[in-house]
Amino acid sequence: MRLAFWTAVAMIAFAGNSLLNRMAVGGGAIDAQSFAVLRLCAGAVCLGGLMLWRRTDWPGLSGRLTGVAGLLVYLFGFSAAYVSLSAGTGALILFGMVQITMFGGALLARDSIAPRRWAGAGLAFGGLVYLVAPSVVFGGLGPMFAMAFAGIGWGMYSLAGRRTGDPLAATGANFLLAVPIALGVWALHGADAWSAQGVALATLSGAVTSGLGYALWYRLVPQLGASRAAVAQLTVPIIAAAGGLALGEALSLRFVVSAALVLGGVAVASR
């Protein structure tokens, strides 16, 4: 029950990132690249401060390449896609690619995946397809590809956390090492006009739902295993859609049916 509770907290943090990103970038409060960089920097400051407070040892550069590369691909792809991509379509592409990437990683690592877990994953993924099917045709190819790459990046990042010894140190190192690269990309692109709301949303997303949420995720992934961690993340679009109700989005019968399929599939796969 403790593992299930903290996994739910991590999924809520991930859904929070989707909502904050849509509010800021989709609402025109800040450009996508600036949001991604500010989010990364805020997370690095938060995690770096916690590492200093705890006197955490620097974990070194060994094994950091996958985590840093996955984090950067995810952050920039995620923000770029939500400029015009609908929330439902983005959720399908992102977490569909996460599931494919993490199941592929589990197979390469020769993890044992029970037939029940395959069946549960298929049921949950089918629920997401049912939820977003009507809106898939409205997204351009550019945002779809950006979100697909973001899903691959997040899958890589999650897989990199399977064997971490200190979740806070590993997450903090990934963020800190990614900052100079992100700033270089940002300098080449340039920044559009910012607003106070956009900066505040990016900072909140970086420090809380990203920095702290990802450190928690790195603590959970070794206990969940790659395949179960992949399936658990399929709940995030449902949580994000539920959060969208507070923003005035209507609750449809399609959403209710999809939520039942996703949560039921996760329950089957996670037993």
Tokens 């770029």 belong to 80
Tokens 């806070």 belong to 168
Predicted pLDDT of residue 202: 93
| 228 burial via Cβ count (<10 Å: 0-12, 13-18, 19+) | buried
Amino acid at site 130: Y
Which residues, including other chains, have CB under 8 Å from residue 204's CB and lie 6 or more apart?
20, 42
Predicted pLDDT of residue 58: 83
Predicted pLDDT of residue 247: 65
Query: Considering the entire predicted model, what is its pTM?
Result: 0.81
Domain hosting residue 37, numbered range:
2-270
| 204 burial via Cβ count (<10 Å: 0-12, 13-18, 19+) | middle
Amino acid at site 57: D
Which pLDDT tens digits describe the chain residue by residue (271 residues)?
788 899 999 999 988 888 898 888 877 889 888 999 999 999 999 999 989 998 888 887 777 888 899 999 999 999 888 887 766 667 777 877 787 777 777 767 676 767 877 787 788 778 777 877 776 655 556 787 888 899 899 888 888 877 777 888 888 999 999 999 999 888 877 667 788 899 999 999 999 998 888 888 888 888 887 777 877 887 887 887 777 777 666 667 877 787 788 777 777 776 6
Cβ neighbours, 10 Å, residue 23: 16
Tokens of 60: 């070194």
263, 238 Cβ separation under 8 angstroms: yes
Tokens 């690095």 belong to 44
Distance CA 147, CA 169 (A): 28
Tokens of 154: 């997040």
Predicted pLDDT of residue 101: 79
* Count of domains observed in the chain: 1
Provide DSSP, 124-179: HHHHHHHHHGGGGGGS-HHHHHHHHHHHHHHHHHHHHTTT-S-HHHHHHHHHHHHH
